[in-house]
Copies of this chain bind each other. A is one copy, B any other.
């Protein structure tokens, strides 16, 4: 495999995270070409000198490396493996970096498909929310063979500030799924506790003050607690995406025969929120699903 330095980078998937990551790649000096199913989202990046390709396949033919950051496995399957997909016109020596959150099995399937074209594959799901994507301070959970990892480092440096190499392809996805499951538990405990506290006649701000003064404080609570009380539910990470990731986590637990009863219970809360039509809202809005259940509204 030929491994010349990467200058031209393609980016497919311009959602909350992807659009900001593509812009950071351009700002760090890469020549960036993008493609997005909804073309208007791509057009908003043209001011940053970013070009638009007519399809994933067209994009792949114009770059040294191509990145994906799409919402779920079926979307990734189409842009990577579809008739007009990236690998349909890729060539030996290219690099494929996937920032999406998918199952470890699907990541390995992509690695194998890429290898058949002589393309190096790296999985690098991210965490850090919209703000981290904006500022280029994301945390990347990378699964890759050593050589491929090294090639991807300049791209990683442009979008994130911390890279954890978790192991071969699949390991990054595995850690990402566990991380999102952890977040769902932290948030659920906060929401259930705030609602009961308030219903019992106690100001939930007191509960938040205790949390933030204690050993179980977290930047996450520092961020989400007050925004929940201000009822700011701007979407950083949507309920639909968390539901998808919890489902992938539970599928993985099923495959590996690890009982995870609490995460199974938490997923149902996300199901509730989706059933209420809140799937596109931020995960903090699960509190509103719980509010609807309990008839208690935080104020």
Residues in A lying within 8 Å of B, measured CB to CB: 104, 127-129, 132, 139, 141, 162, 164-167, 170-171, 174-175, 177-179, 181-186, 188-190, 192-197, 199-203, 206-207, 209-211, 213-220, 223, 243, 247, 249, 252-254, 256-269, 271-272, 274-277, 290, 293-296
Task: Report B-chain residues with C-beta under 8 Å of the C-beta of A211.
Answer: 179, 182
Complex contact B256–A196 (CB within 8 A):
yes
Give which listed residue, B181, B189, B216, B218, contacts A193 with CB less than 8 A. Answer: B181
Look across to chain B and name the residue whose beta carbon is closest to the beta carbon of A188: B262
Look across to chain B and name the residue whose beta carbon is closest to the beta carbon of A141: B210
Complex contact A219–B219 (CB within 8 A):
no
- Give bound CA distance, A182 to B192, whole Å: 9
Task: Report B-chain residues with C-beta under 8 Å of the C-beta of A223.
Answer: 215
Task: Report B-chain residues with C-beta under 8 Å of the C-beta of A171.
Answer: 201-202, 206
Complex contact B194–A178 (CB within 8 A):
yes
Complex contact B182–A196 (CB within 8 A):
no
Q: Beyond A139-B210, A164-B213, A185-B186: 8 further Cβ-contacts under 8 Å?
A: A170-B202, A175-B197, A196-B252, A196-B256, A216-B220, A247-B254, A254-B271, A259-B271
- Give bound CA distance, A185 to B193, whole Å: 11
Complex contact A294–B174 (CB within 8 A):
no
Give which listed residue, B127, B162, B197, B260, contacts A268 with CB less than 8 A. Answer: B260
Q: How far is the CB of A203 from chain B (nearest CB, A)?
A: 7
Q: How far is the CB of A298 from chain B (nearest CB, A)?
A: 12
Give which listed residue, B165, B219, B262, contacts A266 with CB less than 8 A. Answer: B262
Look across to chain B and name the residue whose beta carbon is closest to the beta carbon of A192: B260
Task: Report B-chain residues with C-beta under 8 Å of the C-beta of A193.
Answer: 178-179, 181-182
Q: How far is the CB of A173 from chain B (nearest CB, A)?
A: 9
Complex contact B257–A294 (CB within 8 A):
yes
Q: How far is the CB of A39 from chain B (nearest CB, A)?
A: 29
Complex contact A164–B258 (CB within 8 A):
no
Task: Report B-chain residues with C-beta under 8 Å of the C-beta of A247.
Answer: 254
- Give bound CA distance, A224 to B272, whole Å: 25
